[in-house]
Structure 1
Amino acid sequence: MPAYVVVEVTVKDAETYEKYKQLAPPTIGLYGGRYLARGGRTEVLEGAWDVPRFVILEFPSYERAREWWNSPEYAPAKALRQACTQTDMLLVEGLPPGADPAARQ
């Protein structure tokens, strides 16, 4: 069952964040992850979000996403990101392929 890491990022140090953007992608791939959205255009349709940068990652499972986030490979990139941004990050379990979305409520 897939899992998604949803990230809202406010960059405070653009130069350091550029380094992070180089280090993070290879670590994501090592754990079977991929970007679904990465800093593209956003528009608030409802609510009061103020999202300067938004990222969505997909992993093959909840466990693989946790392994990536806690991994020694990601640790240097994570430290950079935590030093140069304000980040809100959420891990959410997806539905199994072909599942009826109404089945989980």
Structure 2
Amino acid sequence: MGAFVIGQMQIHNRDWMAEYFDKIPDVVAAHGGRFLVRGGNPSSLEGVGALPDAAFILQFPDRASAETFWASDAFQTLAALRRTGSELNAILVDALP
């Protein structure tokens, strides 16, 4: 069964972005994943919480692939870079059968 990583990001500075966004697609692909949404233009449909500056959805063939991606040294190195200028909320969910 497929799995999705869904994230919302608040960006505090953009110093990290060029390197991160240059490298992240290859790291995602190396684990069988692909971007369905990247960045976007978030707008509110319902709710009162603050909108993120950016959002993403990653699709993986299964939960194990998504978890392996997230724990990988390559991703964690990029995540440390990303954390220098942003905050991320991310969740992992299973696809419908």
Normalised TM-score (structure 1): 0.85
C-alpha offsets along residues 18-60 of structure 1, whole Å, 9 cap, x if unaligned?
Answer: 2111121110000010000011122211112412101110000
Q: Runs in 1 of length 4+ with deviation above 3 angstroms?
A: none
1:2 corresponds to:
2
Q: Where do residues 52-91 of structure 1 align in structure 2 (5 Å cutoff)?
A: 52-91=53-92
* Structure 1 stretch displaced more, 75-84 or 24-33: 75-84
Q: Count matched residues.
A: 96
Structure index of larger Rg: 1
Q: Following TM superposition, by how much is the alpha carbon of 1:9 offset from its aligned partner in structure 2, in angstroms?
A: 0.6
* Structure 1 stretch displaced more, 87-96 or 11-20: 11-20
2:40 corresponds to:
40
Report if aligned partners of 1:11, 1:17 keep a CA contact under 8 Å in 2.
Answer: no
* Identical-residue share of aligned pairs (%): 30
Instruction: In structure 1, list runs of 5 or more residues that go unmatched.
Output: 97-105
SS in 2 for 1:51: coil
SS in 1 for 2:96: coil
Letter in 1 for 2:60: F
RMSD: 1.1
